[in-house]
Amino acid sequence: MNQISAEIENLRDGDRDGSADGDPNQISTDEVFALLSNERRRHVLRFLSENGGEIKLRELAAAIAAEENGVDPAEVTYTQRKRLYTSLYQSHLPRMERSGVVEYDRNSGLVTLSASADSFDAYLEVVDENGFTWSEFYLGLTALFAAITLAYATGTPPFDVFDPAVVMAVMTFLLLVSAVAHVRYTRDRRL
């Protein structure tokens, strides 16, 4: 319990000076939540992370407009794209730039994710294009356990020859390995 209290106090101290752990490149927890409170800013972070950390504002506006309107980026109208471009240019990107999350070069139109954006990884489940989330993993693991249980209960070969203790031991081992992997993954991403 003392460790939790110390972590909360450290977060409070970090929030007072605008940064966590005294690192000027670290964004305060309050600012992270304020930035993430807007869906368009979350889209900006996601698209930047999916595109190697940088993307042209025009492409970004078209991609977000396509998502918001449920169409392919090629089908986005000029009005839809312009509305998003203006919103990003006038409001969202300046706010994100002031917070140190992105850098925006107005001459080239390039929006770049800054190093301090790593603060957001703890709040957003960042997954590669071909990856999957932990929630999807555990859903799949549950489906596997259900299939094994059903196969064992109905006497489906080869499960009909295994002792119930062996089946339970294998399922427990799979769950243990999954839990250890998840703990190690989240420990590396702790605030």
67-110 tens-digit pLDDT: 899 898 889 999 999 999 999 999 999 999 988 888 999 899 89
| 159 or 7, higher pLDDT | 159
CA 177 centroid distance within chain: 23
Contacts of 55 (CB under 8 A, 6+ apart): 47, 48, 63, 110, 111
Name which of 145, 142, 134 is nearest 182 in CA terms: 134
pLDDT at 36: 82
Do the beta carbons of residue 112 and residue 102 sit within 8 Å?
Answer: yes
User: Token match 């990884």: residue?
Assistant: 121
Q: Which amino acid is at 79?
A: T
Do the beta carbons of residue 104 and residue 54 sit within 8 Å?
Answer: no
> At 35, is the pLDDT very low, low, confident or very high (cuts 50, 70, 90)?
confident
pLDDT at 121: 61
pLDDT at 16: 40
> At 169, is the pLDDT very low, low, confident or very high (cuts 50, 70, 90)?
very high
Instruction: Report the distance separating Cα 166 and Cα 172, nearest Å.
Output: 10
